[in-house]
Structure 1
């Protein structure tokens, strides 16, 4: 039995959920957690240029985001803002060993062609040292990034690129070969079942419904959800609705008759809001409506405005800290930086923004490991080390150590929170349900699937 903090799935469940949803819609200076010797002035004098994108004054990094994608600007922008806030705080403290970090952003428009154009622009024209906190609909430029050995650190794995290319490092880590030849282990990836195990043991639930559209990507992800739930002993009610004219009232009636306790879905945010309205109207009271890290956000206030009963049943899971957990110093740093540099985004704060901050922290720690002579090779040695990394407590410890194909149960950990309207003095918010994500762990199966 393998004993690891992260699983071979490495965050695949949340990524698959977002991929399904987006494809459907398309048819105070803050501490940056480094030793004071890393900052200037007063720190070491930087050496001359040591690699592409490095001068005596700055290190140039790039962020690619699907800002103007078909699914709307806020779908993918969270990680970018988190990373930008981190680097602004870092530069306000003097930068890294006397060098500022200059961030160049590129909007790929949510298309593979646009993504390739962004990769060429940042690598060929802007000559960036590395990429960080990428969040894109279609990572068409991944082969070009990898071919030029540009480290891509802390990206959100919407598709399968981070499970294939060796110079790409997702925010969730990976134990797959990532040899460039195939995704995962000869085209096979694995999902783990810690979320279902946690909810079963924590809530005592034994029944669940999975709702999807009659569309290929939605149906495929729904099957993964159902397989995971059944492997943990859940009775599963499977419901499919028409993409153009979804009959959510029928689904609500079926769930009420079934006595469904948990609800999972393979739909977009618009569908989720409409389903919740139907559930509230039908008097369906769930133990939990389970969502993922991409929907762990302040925007649920408005997204579920017309269905407060359903909103107060929302649970979210992730491999990162709750952005409301300001008693944790790195989260407090993140919140203070967002309030200082992007106060207008108070209503859009999210777990993805926190993970963008964590990605920037990861790249910065990797660059700091090189001292005053940063190189891409040095950064990748840090990324590929066997010691698990936790972004100063923001992430469940993870790494990129290659391991054999999973053959049995693996120790997998998670964080969880639930939305409560009466929390935080009545303003409402996400209330943590796990004391320490690095210790909320379960020995669970690894279920193979082909993406």
Structure 2
């Protein structure tokens, strides 16, 4: 599959807006008791590390979803006997959202505690990525908030990569992203005009330009709206996108800004086919986050590369939901952290008792895609010398409906399109 431009860069843009609140939903520490029918794990524990920006400039809950999903998976795995009778021992580290803190976490987990692998990394500044790679420690299923997973060998982000990963980002410093999200709304929803709203701030504006470029490549008429970061006039932006007849609204803003924009859209009567957000905002907290914008709230759509956590007709989702049944707020990032832990577990099981860094890395480097029992669109890691000009890419889509939550829009493995791959500077 192709990683859409949207996935990582919207985070990078929001991250630099350090005066904003976090976008995710924090999960309390899970505490699942071991089932009485499963033997307790025996033998030497298998130690893994999870690095998370649990405290960061964008709020304490923004990055914790992957960690909490992974921990819940390992807790349930241990309750069922672990891996070949060995418990998975999880060591966590909060890097504080800084490069210095990240390097300290890498040193602590990789060098001192000698973890077999890192799992479900979600770091604001993955400054220690090169050290992880040099140590040949597999990093399994991390969130590609920056370009590390398209830069270094032994790092395997949750969405895959085609880049050479030879120490430089992508191909000659440029990454690629597909336009499948824009194609989806054009084909399935008949959208033709899209508004892109950003702050007058460098990272936000740069990301907005990427979105605009992708939309234009798909033939959209694009309306750009920029608001002042310090004193944003969302009402004026909302009035203009209504006047321009926008079918879709994309943004390069944080959740707080999105909520304010939605309120303004409701105030001026701007109705759109979809107010499109990303996987990080695919959470059960929407009703609270957008409590003052009921019309816009019910026009929220989310896109990503993993199966909707509301799809309880799927066995793999049911297991995730059962493990998280005591959780107050659910999120798609939790499900992706769960999938990352499953990925590591499958790799470790392939080692047949001798779980080493090298063995796990061999599994990750297989010439075979991975889906985490259908929770992920097929994830592949290749090393193409040149970036493809086009590629078939699929997208998972859901829309919010009050009283129902996130409602899946079509089977994600069927929402597939042959789309151009646009290069961009990370």
Q: Is structure 2 residue 34 aligned with structure 1 residue 59?
A: no
Residue 432, structure 1, aligned to residue 408, structure 2: yes
User: What stretches of structure 1 move > 3 A for 4+ residues in a row?
Assistant: 26-31, 39-43
* 1:40–1:97 contact (8 Å) kept in structure 2: no
Comparing 312-321 with 380-389, greater Cα deviation is found at 380-389
1:441 corresponds to which residue? 416
Q: TM-score, normalization: structure 2?
A: 0.94
Residue 11 of structure 1, CA deviation? 4.8
Is 2:220 the counterpart of 1:220? no
Q: 2:151 and 2:5 mapped to 1: Cα distance?
A: 13
Distance in structure 2 (CA, Å) of the matches to 1:85 and 1:150 = 22
1:252 counterpart = 2:245: no
2:357 to 335, 357, 376: 376
Instruction: Indicate yes or no: 2:191 matched with 1:205.
Output: yes
* Higher alpha-carbon deviation: 192-201 or 143-152: 143-152
Q: What TM-score do the two structures reach when normalised by structure 1?
A: 0.89
Cα distance in 1, alignment partners of residues 54 and 300 from structure 2 = 27
Q: How many Å apart are 1:349 and its aligned residue?
A: 0.5
Partner of 1:105: 92
Q: Which residue does the alignment assign to 2:27?
A: none
Distance in 2 separating the partners of 1:23 and 1:109? 15
Q: Does 1:334 align with 2:315?
A: no
Deviates more, 1:310-319 or 1:144-153: 144-153
Counterparts of 1:197 and 1:263, CA distance in 2? 14
The answer for the alignment partner of 1:426 in structure 2 is none
Report the alpha carbon displacement of residue 299 of structure 1 after superposing the two structures with TM.
1.1
Q: Could you tell me which residue of structure 2 aligns to residue 3 of structure 1?
A: none
8 A contact 2:4–2:178 mirrored in 1:
no
Q: Distance in 2 between matches of 1:127 and 1:65?
A: 18
Among 146, 169, 191, which residue is 1:183 paired with? 169
Structure 2 counterpart of 1:315: 301
Q: Residue 351 of structure 1 is aligned with which of 328, 332, 345?
A: 332
Taking the aligned partners of 2:369 and 2:388, their CA distance within structure 1 comes to: 22
Offset of 1:407 from its aligned partner?
Answer: 3.9
Instruction: Report the Cα distance in structure 2 between the residues aligned to 1:316 and 1:335, rounded to whole angstroms.
Output: 19
Contact residue 195 and residue 225 of structure 2 kept, 8 A: yes
Map of 1:158 onto structure 2 = 145
Distance 2:88 2:340 in 1: 14
Aligned residues: 414
How much has 1:158 moved relative to structure 2?
0.4
User: 2:388 and 2:13 mapped to 1: Cα distance?
Assistant: 27
User: Which shifted more, 18-27 or 93-102?
Assistant: 18-27
| Matching residue of 1:35 | none
TM alignment of 1:41-56, pairs within 5 A:
41=39, 56=43
Counterpart of 2:15? Answer: 22
Aligned-residue Cα RMSD (Å) equals 1.9
Contact (CA 8 Å) 1:23, 1:217: kept in 2 or not?
yes
Q: How far apart, in 1, do the equivalents of 2:300 and 2:375 lie? A: 22
State whether residues 30 and 336 of structure 1, in contact with CA within 8 Å, keep that contact through their aligned partners in structure 2: no
Q: Distance in 1 between the 2:147 and 2:364 partners? A: 19
CA spacing shift, 1:407–1:334, aligned 2, 3 Å: closer
Secondary structure (helix, strand or coil) at the match of 1:445 reads strand
1:81 maps to what in 2? 68
Instruction: Using the TM superposition, give the Cα deviation of residue 29 of structure 1 relative to its aligned residue in structure 2, in angstroms.
Output: 7.4
**Matches for 1:121-160 after TM superposition, within 5 Å:** 121-160=108-147
Q: In the alignment, is the contact (CA less than 8 A) between 1:163 and 1:184 conserved in 2?
A: yes
Cα distance between partner residues in 1 of 2:178 and 2:33: 36
The reply to whether residue 366 of structure 1 matches residue 353 of structure 2 is no
Distance 1:418 1:237 in 2: 23
SS of alignment partner, residue 78 of structure 1:
helix
Deviations along 1:128-163, one digit per CA (max 9) or x if unpaired, are 111000111100111111111111100001011111
- Once residues 85 and 374 of structure 2 are traced to their aligned partners in structure 1, the CA distance between those partners, rounded to angstroms, is 26
SS at match of 2:246: coil
Alpha-carbon distance in 2 for matches of 1:30, 1:40: 11
In 2: Cα distance, 1:442 partner to 1:298 partner:
29
Distance 1:215 1:236 in 2: 20
Q: Hey, what's the Cα distance between the residues in 2 that align with 1:122 and 1:430?
A: 36
The alpha carbon displacement at 1:298 in A equals 0.6
Q: Does 1:416 align with 2:397?
A: yes
1:26 deviates by 5.6
Q: Secondary structure of the residue that 2:392 maps to in structure 1? A: strand
- The gaps in structure 1 that reach 5 residues or longer are 1-5, 32-38, 47-55, 424-428
